[in-house]
Amino acid sequence: MEIDLKRARLEELSDIAYEVHLGQSQTFNYLDIMILKFIGEYGYGSSGNTDAAFMRAIGKACLSAWEPAALIFDFSA
């Protein structure tokens, strides 16, 4: 069986960038907190579908990697 393969990267789904910031709450028993910041413009209508897929994949990967007690999404930029 022959399969034509091509390299794929999550970043190819969207022009949106992201940053991950980690810290600990000093109020609630030093729980780990993650801020996940998305930077860029989300596509209008169905053109945002790949942006949503990218953001969902990044969110799941970050939660799996660091397992924070709390997650804050930052859409301010």
Range of the domain at 31: 13-74
Predicted pLDDT of residue 29: 81
Share of the chain above pLDDT 90, in %: 90
What is the spatial distance between Cα 20 and Cα 66, in angstroms, rounded to a whole number? 10
Question: Confidence class of residue 58 from pLDDT cuts 50, 70 and 90?
Answer: very high
Number of separate domains in the chain = 1
| Contact (Cβ atoms closer than 8 angstroms) between residue 25 and residue 14 | no
Residue at 29 is within a domain: yes
pLDDT exceeds cutoff 90 at 19: yes
User: According to the model, what pLDDT value does residue 26 have?
Assistant: 86
User: What's the average model confidence in pLDDT over 25-46?
Assistant: 92
pTM (predicted TM-score): 0.86
The verdict on residue 2 lying in a domain is no
Mean pLDDT of the chain: 94
For residues 28 and 58, the model is more confident at 58
Q: Is residue 30 part of a domain?
A: yes
